[in-house]
Chains A and B, each alone.
Chain A
Amino acid sequence: MKETDLKRAYNNVLAQAISTSQKFLFAGNLFGDIFVLSLNELNKATEEPPSKLKVFPQGSDVDINCLAFHRDFLIVGAIGLIYGIQWNEEDETLSTKRVWEIKIPMQVDAVEVPDVNSFYLCSETETLYAGCGDGVVYQIDLEDGRIQREYRGHTDYVHCVVGHPDGRIYSSGEDGTVHFWSDKQKEPTAILEPHKNPQLLRPDWGKWIGAVSVNDDWLVCGGGPRPAIWHLRSMECTRTFEYPGRVHVCEFVDDSVLIGGEHNHVQFYTLNGTLQANIPVEHTASYSSVWQTNPFNFMSIAGFSNKLHILKDFRFLDSKIDMYGNVQDEMEDEDQEDNDEDEGEDDSF
């Protein structure tokens, strides 16, 4: 019991993913647990409490830093490795076995194992881009698991990787830069340094860029520096957003920009920089957001708290869903299972 209480208090969810069927939400935390939430339950609009979550422990030594979903695989980014586990839609279960595993190569001079901080999955080309702690973005072919290419340029670890199906990749890092890459060029096509813009710099919080997001013409990024919107071709900063905290999440959602981070609200801004919605959250810091517009509008925001925040129309907070303490099996059993799993994992390593 005590362990769950602790977990409840210190639950830190860094990653979420939505299944290809768009029916399930996966949320992974630093305790190595993956929660699965059925989205259809949420859309029923009854006063019945939504059915409880399922939890699939990956072992307490696995920090789930990032998640992606491809075909019927859930791809987990942990420390030094990326692995895939099969999701069985019928039974709604994750297989306990890792189907495949990719180790991130250690640099010659590296002191510690690089962690996988961010995924960008390009499902058209079946390519996964992983931004890692060694400052490299690895391009991984999901067909055979080979590392096709390494994008080297960052001088510190990579926070966030995003891209565009036409082959443009954008990565932001602790070194305060946003690197623009093309899969056809070796060198970065451009480098953006928001902290050099005095308007954006917030000296107390450093120069790191925690999150970046792009659409066809615009890029939004922020972190220690203020979040701002940039024109991709002219590289000009056109709007800054008055988000008061450090930024860990920013995203283009429909016609607006979602910004979250170390603040008790996540905020939606219009592209002009006017505050549209100011949504209170319980997270000490928000770290992850996933959303879909089909078959229904749905967004989940997670972070350092035991609750997933669900938004159904991107404007109002719809509900908050507990994670620990809201799991299908009973408490005692779950704990038991947890321990069992942990042991099992330990053995295998």
Chain B
Amino acid sequence: MSTQIAVADATTTKSVNFFALQAAFETALEQAIAENNVEQLTKEYNSFRANSEHDKRSPMDQAFREVLMKRLSDDVECIGALVRLSVDAARAEIVSNTIPVVLLGDTFDVVTLNKCELIFKFVEDLVEVWKEEIFFASCKNNLLRMCNDLLRRLSRTQNTVFCGRILLFLSKFFPFSERSGLNIVSEFNLDNFTEYGLDSKDHDDIDNKELEDTAEDIPLKIDYDLYCKFWSLQDFFRNPNQCYSKAQWKMFQMHADTILQSFLSFKLEDIRQNTDSNGTNGDAGPQAMDVDVDDAAIDAAASIAVRKETNFFAKFLTNPKLLALQLSDSNFRRAVLVQFLILFQYLQVTVKFKIDTYTLTSAQSDFIKETEQRVYKLLEETPPYGRRFARTVQHMLQREEMWNNWKNDGCKEFKKPEEPEPAEEEVKPSPPKRSKRPLGDCLRDAARSGKFYLGNDNLTRLWNYSPDNLQACKSEQRNFLPLLETYLETPHDKSDPAFEWRALRLLARQTPHFFTLVSQPSCKISDYLDVVRIRLTREKELVKQISTTTENVSENNNGLTEPSAPTEQEHDASVALQETEPEPDLEVEDSEPVVEEVDETPSHEKPLMVTAAHIEEITPLIGEPWMKVGKKIGFSNDELLFFQMENPTAGVACMKMLTNWISDDDDATLENWAYMLEGLEMHKAADAVKAIIEREKTSSTQSLSQAEIQPDANSNDVEILSD
């Protein structure tokens, strides 16, 4: 207390020494933290008027650092608060600009990595602050040093995420053209050895041996196994410049060939979950890939697939036991194939810092070009979404080439292209909204007219599509269920699970084959469906054969056994003719013409068509004025004349004309005819027709009740003639 009073006294009069200032600032800082406000601190700072700015600033800096040291054990949040406060203080120009970063750097130096990871969040959050002019120049180096210190402490293989965060932060923090972040001379990370089942000293020996062998130019006797070949390639990926040495290149060429051959010899199966995009992607070839709609679907599916893949290894695992699994893993395959592409790109492009002797011979570049194509092809064949993946990689490599060119040009600073003046598009004020009718009114009106109002034009239209929606659903046209046979014949992707599922559903619904057992080497559904399809077609043929044979047989046996209609007709042809056709004639003559109004036929009933027998019956009643009837029916004068010329009597001509009519016109029903005749005031004929209608109706109901005995007597007639 006493010091404070003393200080308070002193402030007005004379300058205070460093420690006193620091102590005073510390207490003020504690308060400021509590209030989370820099005001208090500024006030305190300004109260020492006697001291120069320079004198006051360093004790303030020191105060911050001291407080930090005391509070280190506290919550992470507290440290964040302190840093933020220091930023404010720096803005208020009471501490030096570097203090926020110094504080962070101090913290990182003393806390554990786990905590570092939490605290680094503040660094990331404040990236915009660091980029401000007052901080950037002074903090740049401190921040870089801090990050590098951190990176040095981290394991690249185990703290991959944190490392990535730091690198991301650096790339956000520094401008694009910042050269310190660049690998300007295009060096390779030569430390990144991929070790596999051998000691490094053996390695040299082998290399030498290899050299000898190639030097002597005899075919290599020792064919290393796949494992060694495979992992030896990693060394070339580590240091691509090896490829410019002749012997090494030969080895690379040989091994690369073997590996690609292996990849080619064992293709991976596509086990994709999302089948809808699968179908479009797999079948339609490259063109379909460019369709936006498909792309969107594939995008979604692919991103899901990617998200599922959470495993990441910074280094390859080289246990020999894993090799077979690795080679069958599509992600691993892709990684290796992309490595090839990257290597080839490096070898092909001009890089400023490549040594002049590093040039490809024409044979080499030929090999590279050819192999590059092979690699792309393999990438495309590697599921899932191979084609898409290959395209993406290609795109990224193109981008990489641009960066390379940029580096070759000396890393020019990026400028945003001059933005074209935004076209003077008058932003039209949206048209004043029409005053809406109240919703209740709309609904009421709609209900009154027996319609639906759903508030959305399209929905409303849809719901009012037909008067009775439920009835509409029942209509024939709404039956989208295909026949099993036709469905199985439709072209489809070989193993499309959706197709298989649908086919099985149809199978269960439409045939008993679903419940029979098929003995088969595989349990794949596609194969099962294939078998079923073959069975169905075979069965169909069988049925056809049986029906024809039974027909033949029945002919021989006088049709005793067969139920089928055609044979019956054939056999009892004479009887049937007598029974069906002359019958109406007799009846007409017997019955009185009925002059009742004929009720409109119920819609479900089949309209009664005019038959030849009817014509024969009615023609005499029409008599001379048959041309009138013809006109009414719709024949042209020429045609009528033709009928007249061709036929000797009116009766015959009329008959011909009417026969012509019923064979052409679907509307040739008895009803229509009666109506027509009535219209022409040929009452006699009209009445006769109506009589026929009555008769037909009663006979049809009779025949319905006698269906077992005479199944087709009536309908046959009608159908044959109406054809």
List residues of chain A with CB within 8 A of the CB of B264: 278
A316 to B519, Cβ gap below 8 A? no
Give complex CA distance A317, B226 in Å.
Answer: 7
Complex: A272 Cα to B327 Cα, angstroms? 23
Q: Is A218 interfacial (CB 8 A cutoff)? A: yes
Hey, which chain A residues are within 8 Å of B261, CB to CB?
280, 317
Question: Which residues on B sit within 8 Å (CB–CB) of A319?
Answer: 223-226
A-chain residues with CB within 8 Å of residue B258 when the two chains form the complex: 317
Contact A47 B206 (CB under 8 A): yes
Known contacts A315-B328, A316-B327; decide if A47 and B262 are in contact (CB<8 Å): no
CA distance A117 to B161 in the complex (A): 64
Asked if A317 contacts B224 (CB within 8 A), the reply is no
Give Cα A50 to B224, complex, Å.
8
Which of A10-18, A132-140, A320-328 is near enough to bind chain B? A320-328
A325 with B521, Cβ < 8 A, contacts A47-B197, A316-B262 known: no
Chain A residues, CB < 8 A from B202: 46-48
Q: How far is the CA of A274 from the CA of B258 in the complex (A)?
A: 23
Q: How far apart are B484's CB and chain A's nearest CB, in angstroms?
A: 22
Docked pose: A42 CA to B320 CA in angstroms: 12
CB-CB < 8 A to B527: which residues of A?
A: 272
Contacts of B477 in A (CB 8 A): none
Interface centre among A45, A217, A279, A297 (most CB of B within 10 A): A45
Contact of A312 among B324, B328, B519, B520 (CB under 8 A): B324
Residues A45 and B227 in contact, CB atoms below 8 Å apart = yes
- Determine the distance from Cα of A100 to Cα of B225 in the docked complex, in whole angstroms: 38
Q: A271 is contacted by which of B262, B265, B522 (Cβ under 8 Å)?
A: B522
Contact of A46 with B221 in the complex, beta carbons under 8 Å:
no
A42–B224 Cα distance when bound, in Å, is: 10
B274 interface residue, CB < 8 Å from A?
no
| Contact code string B308-330 (vs A, CB < 8 Å = 1, else 0) | 00000000000010011001100
Q: Are A318 and B328 in contact (CB under 8 A)?
A: no
CA distance A297 to B320 in the complex (A): 12
Residue-by-residue, is B207-231 near A (CB-CB < 8 Å gives 1, otherwise 0)? 0000000000000011111111000
Within the complex, what minimum Cβ distance (angstroms) separates B532 from chain A?
Answer: 14
A195 to B301, CA, bound (A): 48
Q: How far is the CB of A48 from the nearest CB of chain B, in Å?
A: 7
Q: Whole-angstrom distance between the alpha carbons of A42 and B197 in the complex?
A: 13
CB-CB under 8 A for A318 and B226, given A218-B521, A270-B522, A271-B521: yes
Q: Smallest Cβ distance from B520 to chain A, in angstroms?
A: 6
CB of A234 closer than 8 Å to a CB of B: yes
* Chain A residues in 8 Å Cβ range of B320: 45
Whether A272 pairs with B521 at a CB distance below 8 angstroms is yes
Give the residues in chain B near A277, CB-CB below 8 Å: 265-266
Does the CB pair A318–B225 fall under 8 Å? yes
Q: Are the C-beta atoms of B265 and A49 separated by less than 8 Å?
A: no
CB of B415 closer than 8 Å to a CB of A = no
Instruction: Tell me which residues from 225 to 272 in chain B have a Cβ below 8 Å from any Cβ of chain A.
Output: 225-228, 232, 258, 261-262, 264-266
Shortest beta-carbon distance from B256 to chain A in Å: 15
Inside 8 A of A229's CB, which chain B residues have their CB?
521
Interface residues on B, range: 20 to 34
Total inter-chain residue pairs, C-beta < 8 Å: 88
Most chain A CB within 10 A, of B198, B225, B328, B527, is at: B225
User: Are the C-beta atoms of A322 and B521 separated by less than 8 Å?
Assistant: no
B152 sits at the interface (CB 8 A)? no
Interface residues of B in 521-537 (CB under 8 A from A): 521-522, 524, 527
The answer to whether A46 and B226 touch across the interface, beta carbons within 8 angstroms, is no
CB of A40 within 8 Å of the partner chain: no
Chain B residue nearest to A322 in the complex (CB): B221
For the complex formed, measure the closest distance between the CB of B517 and the CB atoms of chain A, giving whole angstroms. 12
Interface residues of A in 34-68 (CB under 8 A from B): 42, 44-50
Whether the Cβ atoms of B522 and A310 lie closer than 8 Å is: no
B194 to chain A, nearest CB (A): 13
- Kindly provide the distance from the CB of B153 to the nearest chain A CB, expressed in whole angstroms: 35
A113 to B80, CA, bound (A): 96
Please report which residues of chain B, range 693-719, place their CB below 8 angstroms from some CB of chain A when the two chains form the complex.
Answer: none
Interface membership of chain A positions 213-249, coded 1 if the CB is closer than 8 angstroms to chain B and 0 otherwise? 0000110000000000101001000110000000000
Q: Indicate if the CB atoms of A276 and B266 lie closer than 8 Å.
A: yes
- In the complex formed, the residue of B with least CB distance to A310 is B225
Interface residues of A in 273-288 (CB under 8 A from B): 276-280
User: Using Cβ atoms and an 8 Å threshold, which residues of chain B touch A46?
Assistant: 197-198, 202, 228
User: Does A92 belong to the interface (CB within 8 Å)?
Assistant: no
Residues of B within 8 A of A5 (CB): none
Are A238 and B266 in contact (CB-based, < 8 A)?
no
Chain B residues, Cβ within 8 Å of A126: none
Q: Contact: A42 with B225, CB < 8 Å? A: yes
Beta-carbon contact of B522 and A316 below 8 Å? no
Q: Select from chain B the residue with minimum beta-carbon distance to A238.
A: B521
Given A46-B198, A47-B198, answer yes or no on A312-B225 (Cβ-Cβ < 8 Å).
yes
Kindly identify which residue among B206, B221, B266 contacts A326, using a CB–CB cutoff of 8 Å.
B221
Nearest B residue (CB) for A278: B265
Residue of B nearest to A279 (CB): B265
Give the nearest-CB partner of B520 in chain A: A238
Interface string of A248-270 (1 = CB under 8 A from B): 00000000000000000100001
Determine the distance from Cα of A313 to Cα of B326 in the docked complex, in whole angstroms.
12
Q: B226 contacts A272, CB within 8 Å?
A: no
> In angstroms, how far is the closest chain B Cβ from the Cβ of A123?
28
A239 neighbours in B (Cβ, 8 Å) = 521
Interface positions of A from 74 to 133, Cβ below 8 Å from B: none
- A44 vs B527: C-alpha distance in the bound complex, in angstroms? 41
Residue from B222, B224, B327, B524 in contact with A315 in the complex, judged by beta carbons closer than 8 Å: B327
Return the chain A residue nearest B222 by Cβ: A49
Interface centre among A277, A313, A325, A326 (most CB of B within 10 A): A313
- With A and B bound together, what is the CA distance between A297 and B226 in angstroms? 14
On chain A, the residues within 8 Å of B206 by CB distance are: 47
Residues of A within 8 A of B198 (CB): 46-48
Task: Point out the residues of chain B lying under 8 angstroms from A231, CB to CB.
Answer: 519, 521
Q: How far is the CB of A5 from chain B (nearest CB, A)?
A: 13
Q: Find out whether the CB atom of A313 lies under 8 angstroms from the CB atom of B521.
A: no
Query: Other than the known A47-B198, A276-B266, A322-B223, what 17 A-B pairs have Cβ atoms closer than 8 Å?
Result: A47-B197, A47-B202, A218-B521, A231-B519, A234-B519, A239-B521, A265-B265, A272-B522, A279-B265, A280-B261, A315-B327, A315-B328, A317-B265, A319-B223, A319-B225, A319-B226, A326-B221
| 9 smallest beta-carbon distances between A and B, as pairs | A45-B320, A313-B324, A319-B225, A49-B222, A271-B521, A272-B522, A277-B266, A47-B228, A316-B262
Residues of chain A having any CB pair with chain B under 8 Å:
42, 44-50, 217-218, 229, 231, 234, 238-239, 265, 270-272, 276-280, 297, 307, 310, 312-313, 315-322, 325-326
A-B contact pairs, 23 of them (CB 8 A): A45-B197, A45-B227, A46-B197, A46-B228, A47-B197, A48-B202, A229-B521, A231-B519, A234-B519, A238-B521, A239-B521, A265-B265, A270-B522, A272-B527, A313-B323, A315-B324, A315-B328, A316-B226, A317-B226, A317-B265, A319-B224, A322-B221, A326-B221
B residues apposed to A, CB below 8 Å: 197-198, 202-203, 206, 221-228, 232, 258, 261-262, 264-266, 320, 323-324, 327-328, 519-522, 524, 527
